[in-house]
Amino acid sequence: MITQMKKYTFLVFHLEYEAFLEQLREVGVVHITEKAAGMADDAHLQELLAKAENTRKIISQGAPDQLLTEKANLEQRIASTKKEADRMAIWGDFSAERLELLKAAGYTLRYFSCAKKLFQEEWGIVVAEDGATVYFVHVSKTSEPSELLNTVLELCQEQQLNSKSAAELLKDVEGLNGLLVAQNARIELWAKENIPALEAELKDLQQQIDWKRVTLNTETECDGALKLLEGFCPIDQVPALQEMLAKQDVYYQEEDPTAEDNTPIKLRNNRFTQLFESLTGMYGWPNYGEFDPTPILAPFFLLFFAMCMGDCGYGILLMIIGMLIAKKKLNIAMFDGLGPIITVLGVGTTIVGFFLGTFMGMDLYAAEWVPQALKNVMIKGNLELAGSSYDIQMVLALCIGVFHICLAMVVKAICYTKQTGFKENIATWGWTLLIVGGLIVAILGMTVLPAEVFKWTLIAVAGVSALGIYIFNTPGRNPLINIGAGLWETYNMATGILGDVLSYIRLYALGLAGGMLGAAFNNLGLMVMGGSTEGATWQWLPFVLILVLGHVLNLAMSALGAFVHPLRLSFVEYFKNAGYEGKGTLYQPFKK
């Protein structure tokens, strides 16, 4: 839900304005209206913003760029030295001093590689073989021309040796690793000594930025004698603001926001729905006149996620991971603060996964040890429709999609009517009546309505819908133009709705794919065990490794898909049909 706001206009004597702003920031409940056109051009504000961004970057990195660059250079040197050591390992351990002695004695050593099938013994001394490649050293007198060398150069690839052997290069790696450890210690020490001060500095910078923004959004009246400021306060915070204003010699005006105001929004939801507010924010916050989509997004996203995962075993693992993250027992930077929502998603996946009959890739419906009473509540088998057989889980996914889209259309009709009135949304109600009402009548006709009543009810729904869609879609306009616009909208709706409904098959497909992949890892593990769990002792290790690595990989892949695809169904299919724009401004009060 969206908290109701009150709009305030303050008129303050210029000598008392700074003290008023201090008190306003102290109470911390007013969102200041941004209206100054020159904010982007204010040099001081831009300087503060840049400094704050740089400070925030250093805090997130844990060190300044210089220290991190030095660390990156060391890591790059370690990687390149290791790679060079691997390349030189094939040439064995040699002494650079002895090679210089041979050179001084008049011998030239050159190093080559070529295909094993081409190599001839007179070309040189074989050092190593690597598959179909042979590595060799060609030795010749420096003072004597060698026709053989010309042949080797033509058929083989010459190799340039490092002045250090592989063993010497690995010693260099050890030294560089020591420098890297020391550099990490420097970074850790720097962070310990400086991060707290930087965090305090960032808070101070944010205070200055907020203050500067307020002053830039202040209008000057009466040749500078008066200061005019506008803002918004949530209705539940009005008493605190009124108490502060009663102590100030300030003229103010309180009124309800209008449609022209850029009113900020503050969401007010229960503990469950609050977990999903960040998903709404990913798309965009609602306008003040819109409905908050989070109360509908939350249960459907949970259901969609659970269906895409489709495995109660994975749900249990998600619950454990979520609780460990919430209790700070498991620290994963990218999941910081997401422990509660991961836990809730795990609970949903466990419940839905049970009804879908899958546990760690195993088909519970086919398992002999599962009681028949539990199997009876699982959603398994096929559904016979019009002489064809369809997987009941696929049909369920499509039915959920139809309901989700119908709900979006009802929300759109109500929300648009609230914003602009019924007259401007006759076509919207026509489509809602045709699709949602038509489905309801069809269901009633297949269950309780007599055939004659069903026929005339359906005709009435179609007739009223047609009038709204084709005749009265834009009141006051030429009826022929309205008919043409209605026909075009019919084409868009027919193709759009069909595609939207079919998109929900992904709820079935992703769950099926995850279950099949989990079953494949189970079968692979059993193959190692010889087809049973009574294999030899040495077989248990690869069996456990295959199951653990396989299911961890499948859990990660399934969780990624189960997050992205429900998000798409919410952002595209639902928000589009609900007419949700998401262009609102989040309530950010001027406060310490």
Q: Where are the domains of the chain?
A: 5-61+193-255, 92-160, 271-393+505-572, 422-499
Task: Using DSSP bridges, classify how beta strands 358-359 and 107-115 pair: parallel, antiparallel or unpaired.
Answer: unpaired
Asked if residue 554 has pLDDT above 60, the reply is yes
Q: What are the φ/ψ torsions at residue 369 (nearest 5 degrees)?
A: -80, -10
Distance between CA atoms of residues 317 and 314, nearest Å = 5
H/E segment holding residue 230: strand 226-234
User: In the predicted model, what is the mean pLDDT of residues 349-365?
Assistant: 91
The predicted pLDDT at position 534 comes to 60
The predicted pLDDT at position 209 comes to 84
Q: List pLDDT tens digits, range 168-203.
A: 999 999 999 999 999 999 999 999 999 999 999 999
SS3 72: helix
* Structure tokens given for 159: 């190799």
* Structure tokens given for 72: 């990156």
Asked if residue 387 has pLDDT above 80, the reply is no
pLDDT band, residue 532 (cuts 50/70/90): low
Higher pLDDT, 262 or 80: 80
pTM: 0.77
| Cβ 134 vs Cβ 155: under 8 Å | no
H/E segment holding residue 38: none
User: In the predicted model, what is the mean pLDDT of residues 428-435?
Assistant: 87
* Structure tokens given for 370: 């599962």
User: In the predicted model, what is the mean pLDDT of residues 501-510?
Assistant: 92
Q: Which of 381, 364, 376 is nearest to 311 (CA)?
A: 364
pLDDT band, residue 106 (cuts 50/70/90): confident
User: In the predicted model, what is the mean pLDDT of residues 145-173?
Assistant: 87
User: In the predicted model, what is the mean pLDDT of residues 536-548?
Assistant: 79
Distance between CA atoms of residues 503 and 144, nearest Å = 77
pLDDT band, residue 68 (cuts 50/70/90): very high
Asked if residue 539 has pLDDT above 60, the reply is yes
E strand map for 309-404: 358-359, 362-363, 382-385, 388-391
* Tokens 């709706």, located at residue: 493
Q: List pLDDT tens digits, range 261-318.
A: 889 999 999 999 999 999 999 999 998 888 899 999 999 999 999 999 989 999 999 9
The predicted pLDDT at position 571 comes to 92
| Cβ 251 vs Cβ 11: under 8 Å | yes
Residue 280 corresponds to which amino acid? T
DSSP letter at 584 equals -
> Cα dist. 572→448, 485, 564 in Å?
35, 24, 12
User: In the predicted model, what is the mean pLDDT of residues 481-487?
Assistant: 82
User: In the predicted model, what is the mean pLDDT of residues 226-247?
Assistant: 90
* Structure tokens given for 56: 């925030």
CB pairs under 8 A, 24+ apart, for 19-26? 20/248, 20/250, 21/211, 21/214, 21/215, 23/244, 23/247, 23/248, 24/244, 24/590, 25/210, 25/211, 25/590, 25/591, 25/592, 26/244, 26/591, 26/592
CATH code: domain 5-61+193-255 is 3.30.70
| Cβ 473 vs Cβ 482: under 8 Å | yes
Q: Which of 585, 236, 582, 235 is nearest to 415 (CA)?
A: 582
Mean pLDDT, the chain, whole residue set: 87
Asked if residue 36 has pLDDT above 60, the reply is no
Q: What whole-number percentage of the chain has pLDDT above 90?
A: 36
Q: What is the CA radius of gyration of the chain?
A: 36
| Cβ 234 vs Cβ 244: under 8 Å | no
> Cα dist. 7→220, 419, 504 in Å?
19, 19, 43
In sequence order, the 6+-apart residues with CB closer than 8 A to the CB of 256 are 6, 7
Distance between CA atoms of residues 395 and 442, nearest Å = 17
Give residue 10's Cα distance to chain centre.
41
Q: Which of 92-101, 180-189, 397-406, 450-459 shows the lowest mean pLDDT across its residues?
A: 92-101
The predicted pLDDT at position 317 comes to 94
